[in-house]
Amino acid sequence: MSIVVSNLTKIYGQQKAVDDISFTAGNNEIVGFLGPNGAGKSTSMKIITGYLAADLGEAVVNGVNVNENPVEAKKQIGYLPEGNPLYYEMYVREYLQFMAGIHEVKTGVKKRMEEVIDLTGLRPESNKKTGQLSKGYKQRVGLAAALLHDPKILILDEPTTGLDPNQIVEIRQLIKELGKNKTVLFSSHILQEVESVCDRVIIINKGKIVADDTLTHLQSSNINAHIILVEFGSKANLALLQNLPLVDEVQENQNQYQLQTSDPEKVKKLLLEFSLQNNLDILSLKTKSKSLEEVFRNLTA
């Protein structure tokens, strides 16, 4: 495994920002790291990258223990932190050359700089100082710096913050391409982005991991994760629908009803019986899994 986190704990005063979490991320895997604000995402990422020390537990990246050998561990990682600190007085290439020196890239530096400039779409703004760039282009500079030394592992904290919709699509595609030969762990509050990019999702809430699964399985196996959409020819009795067995919640919109259940097949049969008993025509009846947003809200509310 490229990332192995074991019993990681970080305490600030009386608060456990990270509370005994464990997970792994394999080679060539893109893992979304999700959670509400203050859940412990950024703290966990800082510990994995060696920017913060854990109070308990350990993180191992590409076989290197971060606590025991932080410098060697950082060589394995490309890190785009939240906030993306830059030296605003430096020109883009000047900054990238500076970062290449920090990462000890000793051969083909200029060629590699031009490669990451093209990879991240920086070319149109590459002759400016970083302080003159828009927020979106500053994010691209941070991502370019994270890629300079061609690391095996990428840790990206909110990588598309400040990008316009077109730029977001480009960076998503880049992350997908990078995930073909790197391990990528990235956080985002844009859940559609996670759905379009990730192989797997880890959800953290109040310092604890509350879900760790593939998107498909998470959406289909989560308790009450199914939605039945039914449309009748006329208005139905909402109270009777809510009292159907295995129905947990009903939302009404004119003659259309959305039912939440853990057993959609049984509920669909009950709806057929319900329509006959109440002289209702069913115009449409279909099932869908909950969106990642709905699963996220259930787990973190």
Query: What CATH number does residue 188 fall under?
Result: 3.40.50.300
Going by pLDDT thresholds of 50, 70 and 90, the confidence category of residue 225 is low
Same structural domain, 278 and 199: no
Going by pLDDT thresholds of 50, 70 and 90, the confidence category of residue 5 is very high
pLDDT average, residue stretch 6-14: 94
Question: What's the pLDDT at 1?
Answer: 67
CA 28 to chain centre: 16
Same structural domain, 92 and 174: yes
Given a contact cutoff of 8 angstroms between Cβ atoms, the answer to whether 159 and 117 are in contact is no
Higher pLDDT among residues 116 and 168, named by residue: 116
Each residue's pLDDT tens digit, 186-222: 998 888 888 889 989 999 999 999 999 887 777 665 5
Question: What's the pLDDT at 220?
Answer: 63
Residue 113: closest CA among 167, 155, 151, 149: 149
Given a contact cutoff of 8 angstroms between Cβ atoms, the answer to whether 82 and 42 are in contact is yes
Question: What's the pLDDT at 171?
Answer: 87
Domains in the chain, number: 2
pLDDT average, residue stretch 113-137: 94
Each residue's pLDDT tens digit, 33-70: 999 999 999 999 999 999 999 999 999 999 999 999 99
Higher pLDDT among residues 288 and 61, named by residue: 61
Edge to edge, the sheet with strand 226-232 lists 247-253, 256-261, 226-232, 282-289
Retrieve residue 247's tokens: 């129905």
Same structural domain, 183 and 244: no
Q: Domain containing 151: what range?
A: 3-220
Q: Residue 165 and residue 81: Cα distance in Å, rounded?
A: 21
Retrieve residue 137's tokens: 């282009």
Higher pLDDT among residues 147 and 193, named by residue: 147
Q: Residue 292 and residue 233: Cα distance in Å, rounded?
A: 31
Higher pLDDT among residues 112 and 136, named by residue: 112
pLDDT > 60? residue 105:
yes
Given a contact cutoff of 8 angstroms between Cβ atoms, the answer to whether 17 and 1 are in contact is no
Given a contact cutoff of 8 angstroms between Cβ atoms, the answer to whether 156 and 187 are in contact is yes
Average pLDDT, the chain: 91
pLDDT average, residue stretch 79-94: 94
Answer left, alpha or beta for residue 246, where phi above 0 means left and psi between -120 and 50 means alpha: left
Going by pLDDT thresholds of 50, 70 and 90, the confidence category of residue 83 is confident
Which residue, 162, 194, 220, sits at the end of a domain? 220
Same structural domain, 111 and 240: no
Q: Residue 181 and residue 197: Cα distance in Å, rounded?
A: 14
Same structural domain, 179 and 194: yes
pLDDT average, residue stretch 114-143: 93
CB burial readout 82-120, b (16+ within 10 A) else e: eebebeeebbbeebbbebbeebebeeeeeebbeebbeeb
Going by pLDDT thresholds of 50, 70 and 90, the confidence category of residue 18 is very high
Same structural domain, 132 and 276: no
pLDDT average, residue stretch 160-187: 89
Same structural domain, 181 and 294: no
Give me the percent of the chain exceeding a pLDDT of 70. Answer: 97
Same structural domain, 246 and 210: no
Residue 60, SS3?
A: strand
Which residue, 186, 220, 254, sits at the end of a domain? 220
- Sign of the CA dihedral running 148, 150, 154, 159: positive
Which residue, 220, 246, 267, sits at the end of a domain? 220
pLDDT > 60? residue 31:
yes
Same structural domain, 259 and 136: no
Question: What's the pLDDT at 215?
Answer: 79
Same structural domain, 215 and 231: no
Question: What's the pLDDT at 191?
Answer: 85
